[in-house]
């Protein structure tokens, strides 16, 4: 053990001596390792940060949620013009699915609609996302409240003039005042604010509008005001299956029972789509995986160049210290001692280059996190990976020079250095 500690100590001394005596040559050789480690860890850190942000953005909805309406989320064999001719889902179909489909925990009916202006006294907030929905929506999307509450079943069914507003809407209309029980104007009607949502922040991926800039009101109120067939609204049914239910089984049951209710005959295609959120998130994860693979491939070339650079500097180091190697061997140093000495030196040089690369990633991460509304994360696992990669490059690059040094004949080594 003491021998290896002394080996590492001497190898570290030789590595630092190489840095001091041949600064330009050594730094150019280390540059390849530094760039390689920087590239890989920067890509992995960026992808991990992106993945963390996306997961946070879509965490509001259950990954198992289903969206039933006339359009398909992804690619489809059905042309767009034909989808446009499909009938909209209805409130009656919402109650039918809620009462007749097994394995369903919650079902919500909501409208997609355009942005509107919301007013309070002399203040107006423009481009507000309006989301008419039934009371189950709060349990499906897992909204968090800063103050107040969501409308309950009775308020939802009766179409009460109540409303829940996002954080930015509350700030824009009320500033530091408490919005609860205040009346705001929307669609020419007065709505009582009963809840204010917690701030969510900017989202990179969003299935729908950002809650910060959205208001939620009972869907039956909108149905009463505009009727069932208004072109301003696109209805959608959101279904949350039980945790123990099989998604494909639930989807199949919905398709079967809705086909019967709509009177579709054998051979006719479904005139609706059951979109599973998990399919969309799986596509996102596949895209993130592709980014990681691409990053590894691109960065691999930098690591390859860095490995050649370290091998080159180690061969030069063996050549310069041939006389010293001969003296060490003549005094009884074994081949293993010489081999480990150069091998440890190569590893230490690569770890130094890797540490510089990791430091650059950390500095950039801090700058980007402070400059952007995005948390750039350099995880411990990526730091450990970068260090391990650097050590592995040193091991692979230094093995041949170390073997050549260990096999030198002591007499010839001393003679060549004289």
Please check whether residues 32 and 158 belong to one and the same domain. Answer: no
Q: Which residues pair with 218 in a beta bridge?
A: 133
Task: Give dist(CA 113, CA 146) in Å, integer.
Answer: 25
pLDDT at residue 412 above 90? Answer: no
Please check whether residues 100 and 186 belong to one and the same domain. Answer: yes
Please check whether residues 47 and 95 belong to one and the same domain. Answer: no
Last residue of a domain, one of 271, 298, 324: 271
Mention every residue, 6+ apart, whose C-beta is less than 8 A from residue 414.
323, 326, 327, 330
Last residue of a domain, one of 237, 271, 305: 271
Question: Integer distance in angstroms from the first to the last C-alpha of the chain?
Answer: 34
Task: Give dist(CA 57, CA 50) in Å, integer.
Answer: 10
User: What are the strands, taking DSSP E only, across 38-188?
Assistant: 66-69, 104-113, 116-120, 123-133, 145-148, 162-165, 183-186
Query: Which pLDDT tens digit goes with each residue over 125-184?
Result: 998 999 999 999 988 888 889 999 999 999 999 999 999 999 999 999 998 889 999 999
> Are the C-beta atoms of residues 414 and 323 closer than 8 Å to each other?
yes
Please check whether residues 134 and 189 belong to one and the same domain. Answer: yes
Q: Does the residue 205 lie in any domain?
A: yes
Last residue of a domain, one of 251, 271, 291: 271
pTM for the model stands at 0.63
Query: Which pLDDT tens digit goes with each residue over 72-123?
Result: 877 788 888 888 899 999 999 999 999 998 888 899 999 999 899 999 988 9
Query: Which pLDDT tens digit goes with each residue over 211-247?
Result: 889 999 999 999 999 887 788 889 999 999 888 888 8
Cα atoms in the 13 Å half-sphere on the side-chain side of 218: 20
Q: Assign 177 to helix, strand or coil.
A: coil
Give the range of the structural domain holding residue 213, as residue numbers without chain letter.
Answer: 87-271
- Predicted pLDDT at 68: 92
């Amino acid at each position: 053990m003491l021998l290896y500690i002394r080996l590492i100590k001497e190898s570290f001394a030789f590595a630092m001596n190489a840095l001091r005596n041949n600064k330009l040559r050594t730094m150019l050789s280390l540059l390849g390792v530094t760039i390689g480690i920087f590239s890989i860890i920067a890509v992995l850190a960026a992808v991990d940060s992106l993945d963390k942000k996306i997961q946070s953005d879509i965490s509001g909805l259950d990954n198992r949620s289903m969206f039933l309406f006339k359009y398909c989320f992804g690619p489809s064999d059905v042309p767009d013009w034909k989808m446009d001719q499909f009938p909209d889902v209805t409130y009656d179909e919402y109650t039918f699915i809620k009462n007749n489909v097994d394995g369903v925990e919650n079902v919500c009916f909501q409208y997609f609609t355009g942005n509107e202006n919301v007013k309070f006294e002399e203040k107006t907030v423009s481009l507000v996302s309006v989301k008419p929905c039934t009371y189950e929506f709060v349990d499906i999307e897992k909204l968090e409240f800063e103050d107040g509450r969501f409308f309950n079943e009775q308020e939802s069914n009766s179409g009460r003039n109540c409303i829940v507003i996002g954080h930015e809407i509350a700030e824009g209309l009320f500033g530091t005042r408490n919005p609860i029980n205040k009346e705001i104007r929307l669609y020419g009607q007065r709505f009582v604010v009963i809840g204010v949502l917690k701030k969510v922040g900017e989202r990179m991926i969003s299935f729908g509008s950002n809650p910060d800039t959205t208001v939620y009101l009972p869907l039956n109120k909108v149905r009463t005001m505009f009727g069932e067939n208004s072109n301003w609204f696109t209805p959608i049914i959101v279904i949350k299956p039980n945790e123990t239910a099989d998604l494909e089984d639930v989807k199949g049951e919905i398709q079967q029972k809705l086909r019967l209710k709509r009177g579709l005959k054998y051979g006719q295609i479904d005139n609706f789509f059951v979109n599973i959120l998990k399919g969309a998130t799986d596509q996102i994860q596949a895209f993130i995986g592709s980014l990681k693979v691409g990053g590894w491939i691109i960065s691999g070339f930098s690591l390859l160049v860095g490995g050649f650079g370290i091998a080159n500097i180690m061969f030069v180091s063996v050549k310069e210290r041939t006389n010293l190697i001969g003296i060490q061997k003549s005094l009884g140093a074994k081949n293993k001692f010489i081999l480990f000495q150069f091998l440890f030196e190569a590893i230490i040089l690569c770890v130094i280059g890797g540490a510089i690369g990791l430091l650059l990633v950390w500095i950039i991460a801090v700058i980007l996190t402070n400059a952007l509304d995005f948390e750039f994360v350099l995880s411990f696992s990526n730091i450990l990976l970068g260090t391990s990669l650097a050590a592995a490059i040193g091991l692979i690059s230094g093995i041949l020079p170390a073997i050549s040094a260990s096999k030198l004949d002591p007499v010839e080594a001393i003679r060549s250095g004289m």
